[in-house]
A and B are shown apart, each in its own frame.
Chain A
Amino acid sequence: MRIACLVKPVPDPEYYNRISIDPVRGILTRAGIPVVMNPTDRHALEEAIRIKEKMGGEVVIFSMAPDDAGGILKDGLAMGADEAYLLSDRAFAGADTLATSYTLAKAIEQFGPFDIILAGNESADGSTSQVPPQVGVWLSMPSLAGIIRMEYGESFRVWCDVEEGRVEYEVTPPVVFAVKRGINTPRYIGIKGIMAAKSKKVSIIRVGDISVDLDRIGLNGSPTRAGRIVVPDIGRKGETITGSPGEIAEGIIEGLRKAGVIKEGMI
């Protein structure tokens, strides 16, 4: 089983309250916010490694990011992936999900074939969930999203989270899987993994290394354009209720009555 795992470096979600707009230049400021592996992608990688452990094969990481993302891919290699490709080139910059998925798919095709493509269901920063299914289209593979459980063998049984419950699918590779965080608990990266990763390779892929249509990559290949960005004001002028627990309880019920939330007979 050859498994490609998509990994996205993202600004650490713990710090998103610190991201703001530079009032002069009107651009995002994210100074001092560390970049981490997208949390959901860690679960995808864990599942990829588990499939490899059960069925044999290899796990190859694909990531489109600047050169300095190599450290995050090394983390993935320390977890147990075998190899990583970092797609890094100015020509890839400014890509929306369509151009990103196209570029990733072309690289996967170049270094493939792969039986399975695993990805996190969504990134913490953009949260579109669009790249995995779109990679599937470029590679003519089916895709399943919102996966919370998998069983593997000759064919795969996959449980997807939907609004009213779960849908159970059966699918035979090649296929794209987008997993949710609940699917597993990613392994701890130990010293052994870190040592093993030293001899594993992160290959940097430039635009000339893959066969792409230049009109489909980067900003040129992106139909969407981001315009105005604002920080919504969600703050309220709150009232603090103090006193003994009993007084607080009375105060809060009183307040809720005043606000019209609790009406006579409602509770």
Chain B
Amino acid sequence: MDNKNVWIFAEQRNDKIMNVAYEILGAARRLADKRNCEVYAALLGDHVEHLAEGLIQHGADKVCVVEDPLLRVFTTDAYTDAVEAIIKNFKPEIFLYGATTIGRDLAPRVASRVHTGLTADCTGLDIDEDGLLLQIRPAFGGNLMATIKCPEKRPQMATVRPGVMEKLPEDASRSGDVIRFNVELDENNIRTKILQIVKEAKRTVNLEEAKIIVSGGRGLKTPEGFKLIKELADALGGVVGASRAAVDSGWISSDHQVGQTGKTVKPELYIACGISGAIQHLAGMSGSRTIVAINMDPNAPIFKVADYGIVGDLYKVIPMIIDEIKNAKDASSVL
């Protein structure tokens, strides 16, 4: 097989490289070193060549730049055409994408176009003794981890869950090459028209990047319970999360849900209040550094993953914890 090198899709939005692109660049570097080959980053956009330097500093040997006004914002059609052309021209052995909304939309279409395999939402990547890419991913809500291979077809492709892979420290002394690659794109082939992109301020409270998360579940019994959850989160300088049960009950918007597809959190502190602990939720938060669970039911599965378990009435316990935090704050301000 003449396919060679590890490629990543260097996703950029608004002229800024997504963090997950640097993360998969770190993973690609590790894989390429094992395969004795080079790391290529595919950078698509309009006037984006200046972003190539950052990719090189984070581990890329070559940056393949495809520039076109039609690539300024993501559309599945234009981006699929461009990545397909890259794959047919450069014949990568491995091609990684961040499992963002864009990556999860683009990669499957590319895989169908070039007739290769694709593993979604990987949390682990390695090379086996035969030189094949091992793609580790959760299934059944995270209760199982499966290892997937793509033995025959090339490239071996995977989307990789954000926040899982380690990016390399920026190294200004690294050097690499920029390759300009031209793809003929036709506006008439872009069948979905973007009318507008609406940014929502609430998304700036990002669960994936939060240091402290206080989550509520069905055990709150009423939507008002989230006021108390918010109060505790505010006292700790954290953000509010929720279980699917609470979201499905309509008590809080789905933006707060932990444990939905692809949404993994790993804060320093996770406090689960009135959450029994469905496997999907546990898989989404069990990577947190310290976990506190408050629940009436001593047999709730949430206690299995908790460092500190409190069997009791959250409406009695949480106000006391808030008081305790406030006292501690007052004490420290005196000091």
B-contacting residues of A (Cβ < 8 Å)?
11, 13-14, 16-17, 19, 21, 28, 96-98, 101-102, 121-122, 124-131, 133-134, 136-138, 142-146, 157, 160-172, 175, 180-182, 222-232, 234-236, 238-242, 245-246, 248-250, 252-253, 255-256, 259, 261-262, 264-267
Contacts and interface: CB of A to CB of B under 8 A. Distances in A.
B34 interface: no
Contacts, number: 261
B254 A248 contact: no
Minimum-distance CB pairs A-B, first 6:
A223-B117, A249-B320, A137-B112, A128-B120, A224-B117, A142-B191
B308 interface: yes
Contacts of B310: 240-241, 248, 252
Contact of B143 (A231, A246, A253): A231
B334 interface: no
Nearest to A264: B332
Contact of A227 (B13, B102, B147, B329): B147
Interface stretch (B56-64, B178-186, B221-229, B297-305): B297-305
A256 B324 contact: no
Contacts of B199: 164-165
Contacts of A136: 109
9 contacts: A126-B120, A127-B262, A137-B109, A142-B77, A160-B101, A228-B146, A229-B139, A252-B310, A264-B332
B312 A248 contact: yes
B283 interface: yes
Contacts of A134: 108-109, 111-112
Given A122-B261, A129-B108, A134-B108, A238 B279 contact: no
Given A133-B76, A142-B76, A241-B308, A224 B149 contact: yes
Contact of A223 (B115, B290, B292): B115
A124 B200 CA distance: 27
B172 interface: no
Contacts of B192: 142, 144, 169-171, 175
User: Size band of the B side of the interface?
Assistant: 35 or more
Contacts of B145: 229-232
A28 B146 CA distance: 11
A248 B194 CA distance: 53
A175 B191 CA distance: 9
A145 B146 CA distance: 25
A164 B77 CA distance: 21
Interface string B227-249: 00000000111000000000000
